[in-house]
Structure 1
Amino acid sequence: MHGKEFDWFLKSDDDTYIVMENLREMLRSYDPDSPVYFGYRFKPYTPQGYMSGGAGYILSREALRRLVVNGILGKFCGPFTGVEDLDIGRCLYTVGVEAKDSLDNFGLERFHPLNFFAYFGNLKLPAWTGDYAFHPLKRGFECCSNKTISFHYIRAHEMYMLEFLIYHMRH
């Protein structure tokens, strides 16, 4: 098992854009041997909520150990529904892993379960956002941390655009 070789473990979808430098910066003040995980927090189904799989979530070394050893191999978790982020969130709660807020110092989200156009355009938000968002979903410049870590539902050409805007364009 590779669980002892790394401090943190990231799960994200293939259509999720991740800014690794911002993720590293956020994690710098946390102990990977604490049972914690971070991401965009949904509020239903467990007392502490659970993290959106689409926005990506990050598990500490201890969180992953508890998930695998106690939850899955130890059979403390299940039966699983097939809704990955919910199943993992329920299991992590069962084995004592804390869902931590990943808001920045200004209370802005770092992980985003929607495409950035949903936050900065006038697109209609999906109906679930009101019922699921642990913190009220904001739009415009109030939505997103300057240290944003992820956006979900990013198409291939948008990934290239984000890569250019973040890493190559200068003023």
Structure 2
Amino acid sequence: MNTWGGDMHELRADGLLIVGDEASPDHEPPIIGVSACGNDHGKELCCRTGYALQEAAKQLEAYSWFFVLDDDVYVNVHNARQALLYRDPDDLIALGIPSCGPEDAAGFCGGAGYIISQASLRKIMARSGEAFQSDLMGNLVGGAYGLVWDDLSISGVLKRNGVHLEQLDGLYGWQLDNSQELEDGYASAIMATDPLPITFHYVTSRQNEMLVFCPDSYNACL
């Protein structure tokens, strides 16, 4: 909220919906709590993500696109808008990095973020929010050691509803270097024009604050 999130909330050109395991009604914007889900990074995260999409669907007619993000992701909102200019929110599409998971259940690498079109969100919620949640939690995608993944599980719901998962360039789902600062690993990505950088995952608080100054000049970050 001290960087890109605060700008979005203040300008109100886009909506910002925050969902967590505990409610915080005094936060701006309020944090919607779904304590019934729990707070682990497996099945309970799948549950929370499902409820987040149900909350987003309550504003379905207000927005053309719905961007699902973790809380440790930096977003260049301007570049995200640019990437969507020539795409149609009436298409059954979702955009991200659709190359994670086992071959028979491949889906989005969710840490980079993924964007669901208005038509796609409408389709997966067509019967009801409860039916969507039941489908999600009844078909969780997992792997070794009993782990399940919310990004692959949501991808499964999208695909079962005829939504096409498409690659969106400019999403960085993994750290580009191991520093707490922004070193050369980020330089080419930050200053790129093709593709424009949209998200950086696993950013620290320090990096998040520095990234605010980077789109115009990488040197401003150093």
TM-score with structure 2 setting the length: 0.57
1:31 and 2:97 are equivalent in the alignment: no
What SS class does the counterpart of residue 60 from structure 2 fall into? Answer: coil
> Quick check: 1:157 aligned with 2:206?
yes
Aligned partner of 1:42 in structure 2 is 99
Contact 1:46/1:90, CA 8 A, preserved across alignment:
no
Compare 6-15 and 50-59 and name the one that shifted more.
50-59
Question: For the pair shown, which has the larger CA radius of gyration, 1 or 2?
Answer: 2
- Please report how far the alpha carbon of residue 120 of structure 1 lies from its aligned counterpart in structure 2 after TM superposition: 5.2
Tell whether the 8 Å contact from 2:112 to 2:200 is kept in structure 1 after alignment: yes
| Alpha-carbon shift at residue 4 of structure 1 (Å) | 1.3
Aligned pairs for 1:14-163 within 5 A: 14-45=71-102, 49-69=106-126, 73=131, 76-77=135-136, 78-81=138-141, 82-103=148-169, 110-117=170-177, 121=185, 141=188, 145-146=192-193, 147-163=196-212
Q: Note the aligned Cα RMSD (angstroms).
A: 3.1
Q: Find the aligned partners of 1:36 and 1:4 in 2 and give their Cα distance.
A: 17
Structure with greater helix percent: 2
Compare 61-70 and 146-155 and name the one that shifted more. 61-70
What TM-score comes out, normalization by structure 1 length? 0.72
> CA 1:38–1:145 in structure 2 vs 1: closer, same or farther (change >3 Å)?
farther
Tell me how far 1:44 sits from its aligned partner: 3.8
What 5-or-longer segments of structure 2 have no aligned partner?
A: 1-57, 142-147
Counterpart of 1:41, as a letter, is P
Range 80-89 or range 58-67, more displaced: 80-89
Unaligned segments of structure 1, at least 5 residues: 104-109, 122-138
**Paired residues, what number?**
147
Change (3 A) 1:140 1:158: closer
Q: Note the C-alpha offset of 1:116.
A: 2.9
Deviations 1:41-93 (A, max 9, x none): 22544668321211111110011112222596265553335411010011101
Alpha-carbon spacing, 1:89–1:30, altered in 2? closer, same or farther (3 Å) = same
SS at match of 1:164: coil
Residue deviations 1:83-123 (CA, integer Å, cap 9, x gap) = 110100111011010111213xxxxxx111112326954xx
SS in 1 for 2:90: coil
